[in-house]
Amino acid sequence: MTLCTFGPPAERRRRWILKFEDTDASDMHFTDEAEAHAMFNRCSLNWTCTLFVTAEINSAMWTAAQEALSLLNRVPSSPSDDVPIETVRENLRRALGVPY
């Protein structure tokens, strides 16, 4: 799983997400690494959980992703694809934080 921060590069902040296997437990989100690791160390004693960190995307990757979205918007949908192109477009928009 790859998690990326949303929005333009200047507005992004790294985040840590603590996910629990128990569906009744909510994910926990952190902006402080030490706090995230401390909580993971406490929770992992009694819960099955995983700590994720968002990936950093540099400006060149941001520009390339925006260009990819632009190209995807020009591709016609095909019902025979395993993953509908609109799903790919929606996921890319969400990852970039681009409004619909």
- Rounded distance between C-alpha atoms, residue 49 and residue 52, angstroms: 10
pTM of structure: 0.52
Q: Is residue 19 part of a domain?
A: yes
- Rounded distance between C-alpha atoms, residue 41 and residue 96, angstroms: 31
Q: Is residue 1 part of a domain?
A: no
Sequence-distant (≥ 6) Cβ neighbours of residue 64 within 8 angstroms: none
Answer yes or no: do 46 and 22 share one domain: yes
Sequence-distant (≥ 6) Cβ neighbours of residue 58 within 8 angstroms: 9
Answer yes or no: do 40 and 68 share one domain: no
Q: Is residue 2 part of a domain?
A: no
Answer yes or no: do 67 and 39 share one domain: no
Query: What total of structural domains would you count in the chain?
Result: 2
pLDDT in tens, 6-62: 666 677 778 899 999 988 889 999 999 999 999 999 999 989 999 998 876 666 666
Query: Domain range for residue 27?
Result: 9-53
Answer yes or no: do 46 and 66 share one domain: no
